[in-house]
Amino acid sequence: MSAPRLEIDALTVRFGGLAAVDDVSFAVASGTVHGLIGPNGAGKTTMFNLISGLVPPSAGAIRLDGERIDALPSWGRARRGLARTFQNIRMFQDMSALETVMTGMHSRLDESLPAALLRMGGFRKAENEALAKAWELLAFVGLADAAHRRSGDLPYGDQRRLEIARALALEPRLLLLDEPAAGMNPSETLALEALLEKLKAQGLTILLVEHDMHFVMRLCDEITVLNFGRKISEGAPHMVRADPVVVEAYLGAKVARSLEAPQ
Ligand SMILES: Nc1ncnc2c1ncn2[C@@H]1O[C@H](COP(=O)(O)OP(=O)(O)OP(=O)(O)O)[C@@H](O)[C@H]1O
Ligand SMILES: [Mg+2]
């Protein structure tokens, strides 16, 4: 059997006395959407920071397609195909939407400008290809009309989709999404769900943090639940939402019942 796309192995990080992630292990199979859920402060964003290299682990290992990545810097992980979005949107407000997408691209990481300038023809070709690709991604997330608008002026839901387009520009092997539906209205959330379904159909592997449980339960193949930094449950959505430990720690009986109901 091939290695999982992502393997989290006994991962721990301590901030002072607090173990924000405490001996957590799970695996994300290639081509699946894997949910990471739990109450506020459970350690979900910290897990993303560990995976993407913003926070060094205190113990444990992280493997991407079987290869240890936990000692690599963030850019080294990006180069290996790890892309993410942030719970609090992070991008250059003054760039156009089109430019924002282009900041996510491989060519920017792989090719130094002087080297590119030495072979001008190749550079122009690469630039043109990058531009075409950026347009394609904007269209894919439904933002082609906003290409020349200032990123910071876009409505919140559009900024969230722009962040996804920028992450996709890396052509990731694994995409980490931290609360992509947060702050979206119901119709924006439905559009986002359709977008993620399309990415899933294309075979992209996604690790998803999200509090909208209907959204999570419909999209995910597998879910891992954290509470106070520890893994408390794991399995298929219908198993996890019926797990008394998860109902007690996070969902509450009312939400759990609403998830049982046909939608
Ligand atoms: N850099 C840091 N230094 C100290 N404590 C931190 C740091 N980052 C996170 N924490 C703490 O770690 C715990 C987990 O936080 P984290 O942001 O990972 O939670 P979360 O599951 O993403 O919550 P939410 O659903 O509210 O986004 C919290 O108690 C938080 O205060
Ligand atoms: Mg968080």
CA of 25 to the centre of ligand 1 (A): 18
Pocket test for ligand 1, best of 44, 49, 86 (most atoms within 8 A of CB): 44
Domains belonging to the chain, first-starting first, are 1-81+172-263 (3.40.50.300), 93-171 (no CATH)
Residue 89 backbone dihedrals phi, psi, to 5 degrees? -50, 130
20 Cβ below 6 A of ligand 1: yes
Kindly report the protein residue whose alpha carbon is nearest to atom 4 of ligand 1.
Answer: 15
Q: Encode pLDDT of 72-97 as tens digits.
A: 999 999 999 999 999 887 777 889 99
Residue 238 tokens, joined: 């219908």
Mean pLDDT score across all residues of the chain: 91
Kindly report the protein residue whose alpha carbon is nearest to atom 3 of ligand 1.
Answer: 15
Identify the nearest ligand to the CA of 41 by its number.
Answer: 1
pTM: 0.92
CA of 41 to the centre of ligand 2 (A): 7
84 Cβ below 6 A of ligand 1: no
Does residue 156 or residue 225 have the better pLDDT? Answer: 225
Average pLDDT over residues 67-71: 97
Q: Encode pLDDT of 170-209 as tens digits.
A: 999 999 999 999 988 998 999 999 999 999 999 999 999 9
Rounded CA-CA distance 163/143 in Å is: 11
45 Cβ below 6 A of ligand 1: yes
Average pLDDT over residues 244-261: 86
Could you give the 3-state DSSP secondary structure of residue 226?
Answer: strand
CA 104 and chain centroid, separation: 14
Could you give the 3-state DSSP secondary structure of residue 43?
Answer: coil
Q: Are strands 222-227 and 33-37 parallel, antiparallel or unpaired?
A: parallel
